[in-house]
Chains A and B, each alone.
Chain A
Amino acid sequence: MAEPDPTPPVQRRLRPAAGGRLTSWLVGLLAALLGFALVVQVRSTREDADLSSARTSDLVRILDDLDERSQRLDAEQRQLERTRDELLGGADQRAAARAATRAQLRTLEVLAGTVPVRGPGVVLVVIDPGRVVSAAELLDAVQELRDAGAEAIQVDGVRWVARSYVEDTAQGLAVDGTAINPPYEILAIGPAATLSSSLAIPGGVVESIRERGANTLVEQRQLLLISALKQPVDPQYAQPAQ
């Protein structure tokens, strides 16, 4: 306690004589202790960010707070990871679906004849000045080529597709309604050697056309371009049944 009051000043003044040097030195020592403790305390407060000097109850509260926060952050992290996985999976699926769709589109475009195609194949020329070759023989030729693996066929400038037909008219042959005139030039893209040998088999296309009195010319090509196109037709009656 600081200088207790009750003793009257007169009495107090008498005391120093009795205290002597020792107490005077003690005062100095205590003051030094205070200064020392002051510096130590200030420094330790500044050094350790309040945790090591905090009380148990405070530490428990701080720990609770941190626990709660870490749980919240954990939950948030899990949610974000899930979202990220979903997004990544979705992107993957979309990319795969897009690739598959593109591949399918390429196939369908070739089949539907909406794009020009090129590749190895054969050229079959039916030289028929007398117009003796009928639609049946021409159809046989196309069927034979298809059977041998032709992927795209063009008959005298008309792209041969799934809906194509050939008919006998008064003026001669017509493919898909377009009149064709001899010599008929049939281009087929596919395995050239197979195509050419399938046409040449005994009793096959070439032979039956020759028997009719026309002539043929078969030629293998490394690179053939089929540039005739067909407009796709929207089906009017047939609907996909599922």
Chain B
Amino acid sequence: MVGVIGLVLGIVLGLLLEPTLPLWLQPYLPIAVVAALDAVFGGVRARLDGIFDDRVFVISFIGNVLVAALVVFLGDQLGVGAQLSTGVVVVLSIRIFANAAAIRRHIFHG
């Protein structure tokens, strides 16, 4: 519940403040957002499974974002940034789809 309220609050804040994205953050933010979305879907699934844990969610969220950013950073340093961020997005998308499928099963069969 707190999560949903926070999400809505964040979106509203973003819409109201209209912040400009700092340049150094531009390559990382899209990947970080996808990684965070993966964590959120995982969290939702865990809640439906009845095993949701605030602390695990926080750690997985932050960890996800940091690892994604690190991978992109490494990729940029190695000169394969574009390919690596595509790979990250693909992997995370697969996880999101898997979680979404589990969530759907819960909703329709639970």
A interface majority secondary structure = helix
Chain B contacts for A55, CB-based, 8 A: 27, 76, 81-82
Chain A contacts for B82, CB-based, 8 A: 55, 57-58
A71 CB-CB contact with B under 8 Å: no
Q: Which A residue's beta carbon lies closest to that of B46?
A: A3
Chain B contacts for A25, CB-based, 8 A: 2
B interface majority secondary structure = helix
Query: Which of A13-21, A179-187, A219-227 sits within the interface?
Result: A13-21
Among A18, A19, A52, the residue within 8 A (CB) of B26 is: A52
State A33–B8 Cα separation when bound (angstroms). Answer: 10
Residue of A25, A40, A53, A55 most packed against chain B (CB within 10 A): A40
User: Which B residues are within 8 Å of any A CB, using their own CB?
Assistant: 2-15, 18-21, 23, 26-27, 29-30, 32-33, 36-43, 45-46, 49-58, 60-64, 76, 79, 81-82, 95, 99
Q: What are the 9 closest A-B residue pairs judged by CB atoms, nearest first?
A: A2-B42, A35-B10, A39-B14, A31-B6, A32-B10, A28-B6, A23-B54, A3-B46, A32-B6
User: Which A residues are within 8 Å of any B CB, using their own CB?
Assistant: 1-4, 9, 12-13, 15-16, 18-19, 23-41, 43-45, 52-53, 55, 57-58
